[in-house]
Amino acid sequence: MGECSQDAIRIMVVDDEPIIADELSELLKNHLQDYANITVRTAYNAATVLKLIAQHSCDILISDIQMPGKSGLELAKEVREIVPDVNILFLTGFNNFAYAYEAFRQNAVHYLLKTEGDEAILQAVRETVDKLRVNRNVSRRIQEAEQPPAPEGSQENASAEGQSGAAS
């Protein structure tokens, strides 16, 4: 896992079944590392997720829905309070319309069944990563466009004038 650069896509995986959380984290690392600069953190309950996000933030939350203590739906609400623009993917073993409806009310970007398989999960994460890349590029360009031009007499202008004056 390690520390990530500023441009890394930070993914948090949470499932109360450690084998599922660990396997999903490994799947993402093994199949997406060449696709994107990602950092994957794994948790087995909502309390750990909240603690980790307070320290490291995250761009993508992949959460089981039914977990003891706090459901993935409840967790998503709390994570959004900390990271309002987090992208949420729900991964569940339950094909339940009420869960899907609530997930989309919370602006989840994907609602996947665990039985859909690895490729469906990877494709959903790739789509989310692509969306994040576009948003980051747009934000970067906006920031660059909003930068004021260098003032007259700045170091850049002074050295350019000095070079042209020396050539005369």
Q: Looking at residues 125-133, what average pLDDT do you find?
A: 93
Q: What is the pLDDT of residue 10?
A: 96
In this structure, of 14-18, 116-120, 147-151, the range with the lowest mean pLDDT score is 147-151
Which residues are within 8 A (CB) of 80 and not within 5 positions of it... i.e. 6 or more apart? 86, 88, 106
Other residues' Cβ atoms within 10 Å of the Cβ of residue 15 = 27
How far is Cα 149 from Cα 37, in angstroms, rounded to an integer? 32
Cα distance between residue 111 and residue 153, in whole Å = 56
The token duo for 61 is 């939350």
d(CA 37, CA 45): 25
Is the pTM of the predicted complex or chain greater than 0.85?
Answer: no
C-beta atoms surrounding 160 within 10 Å: 11
